[in-house]
Amino acid sequence: MFVHQFFFPFTSLNIECISLYIGGKPSPRVVLHVIHNEFPFDNVRLLEKIFQGLIRLQQTKESWQLDYRLDIGTLQHISIMAARRGSSNLIFLIWDYMELFDYGPVSEAMYEDTIVALVESRWQDSLFLQVLYEMEKKRGFVPQRPLIRSISRSIRPIIGRIQNILRFIQKRAIHKKDPWKKEYPVVQDVEEEMTPGEGVTTAMLNCVLSAYAEWGLVDKVLDVFDEFNKLECYPNDDTFAFLMEAVAINITTAIETKTNAENKDDTWTPWISSQLDSVEVIIHTMYQMKCSWTHPMVYNYIRILCAIGESNKALIFLEDINTQETSTCTNISLDTFTLLATSFALHDNRHGVNMTKELSQRHGHSFPSYTSERIERLLK
């Protein structure tokens, strides 16, 4: 049995040296020890060399053929570590390895790891969009909110990167009338030449929506939402949650700034009204598209109502939400009730706090002691 890598650092070169020494290929047991010696698989550079060596050994044509097949659990563990390190090279080597050994279709988890690694590398945005498209359209996996959120949090620090990704998405739906021309024209100049929907998915646009929403850029978010119609992509529940989040962040940030500056001017009230109009449009469109109230959307809607001093309206909404046919919120999160109770406490409304606590208990929640203590301090 091989000892820790510090004392016996195997690489792909070591594997090939063993092959030359014994006059043939090392046994699968030896190779398995080489791989396991790298646990917890955080040295991605070394693992790249090991997988390159494994692939070369397996591709060697001989009269006898050894099977250097790793178990799928080990491969997924390595894939996860590669995603955390942003090593797309290692993940693609794993894909080649799995194809060589005919493991079958790539799992949903490995698609997610590949996308995360490509996004983290920062220079492969068009490639991560292609993998996202293949995951959704060819394999039938629906990208979940945590994956969309992970992508958006990686791309949102640089606004220019978000804009470039949106351009990549738009170009995926463009086809030149002359198929022999390789170059793509500027998107704005060829709207009449666009073929809606080809190569574009809802998840792609949701990634851009989420990134802009975390900045509270309502205008940008609404512009991206218009792309759904242009590209014939259908919004889903997450789409409207991101729209509501953008308005919530925009309003709460502005109110906090105005409150600290104490310089509200004549444009303040009309601005708040315009933001609330956007909220009503989002809700109306959501009903038209037959989408549902989700936990993130409910939370951000309550956040908006509390920010503008409509805590009572928020309480009534939470009491009625489960009776609505379009709602899937059978169990609203504790954070939502905590937010509303804190809002009541800030306005010294003990009755509202008690009503919120009772409502949260009906949903199976109870306030932690530190939350209750904080609310009581606000009421005093």
pLDDT digits (tens, 9 = 90+) for 76-122: 888 888 888 878 888 888 888 888 878 888 888 888 888 988 888 77
Residue predicted with more confidence, 118 or 37 = 118
Q: What is the mean pLDDT of residues 5-21?
A: 47
Residue predicted with more confidence, 139 or 26 = 139
Confidence band of 186 (pLDDT split at 50, 70, 90): very low
Confidence band of 315 (pLDDT split at 50, 70, 90): very high
CA–CA gap between residue 355 and residue 351 (Å, rounded):
6
CA–CA gap between residue 233 and residue 38 (Å, rounded):
44
The rounded radius of gyration (Å) of the Cα atoms in the chain is 27
102 contacts: CB under 8 Å, gap ≥ 6: none
- pLDDT over 60 at 331, yes or no: yes
Question: What's the mean per-residue pLDDT of the chain?
Answer: 79
Confidence band of 24 (pLDDT split at 50, 70, 90): low
Q: How far, rounded to the nearest angstrom, does the alpha carbon of residue 328 sit from its chain's CA centroid?
A: 21
- pLDDT over 60 at 177, yes or no: no
Residue predicted with more confidence, 87 or 360 = 360
- pLDDT over 60 at 325, yes or no: no
| pLDDT > 70: percent of the chain | 78
- The per-residue pLDDT for 353 is 92
Residues in the chain: 380
DSSP secondary structure code for residue 70 in this structure = P
Closest CA to 367 of 330, 344, 336, 331: 336
Three-class DSSP labels, 173-242: CECCCCCCCCCCCCHHHCHHHECCCCCCCHHHHHHHHHHHHHHCCHHHHHHHHHHHHHCCCCCCHHHHHH
Q: What is the mean pLDDT of residues 217-239?
A: 91
DSSP lists the bridge partners of residue 293 as 327
CA–CA gap between residue 215 and residue 131 (Å, rounded):
26
Phi, psi angle pair for 194, to nearest 5°:
-80, 140
Distances (CA, A) of 265 to 142, 246, 252: 46, 23, 17
CA–CA gap between residue 43 and residue 84 (Å, rounded):
11
Closest CA to 170 of 195, 149, 145: 195
- pLDDT over 80 at 229, yes or no: yes
DSSP lists the bridge partners of residue 174 as 194
Task: Look at the block and give the residue holding tokens 């406490």.
Answer: 345
Task: Look at the block and give the residue holding tokens 């208990």.
Answer: 361
Q: What is the mean pLDDT of residues 329-341?
A: 85
Q: What is the mean pLDDT of residues 264-293?
A: 83
Report the run of H or E that residue 91 belongs to, with start and end: helix 88-100
Q: What is the mean pLDDT of residues 40-46?
A: 80
* Contact predicate 44/87, CB 8 Å: yes
Domain locations in the chain? 1-88
DSSP lists the bridge partners of residue 194 as 174
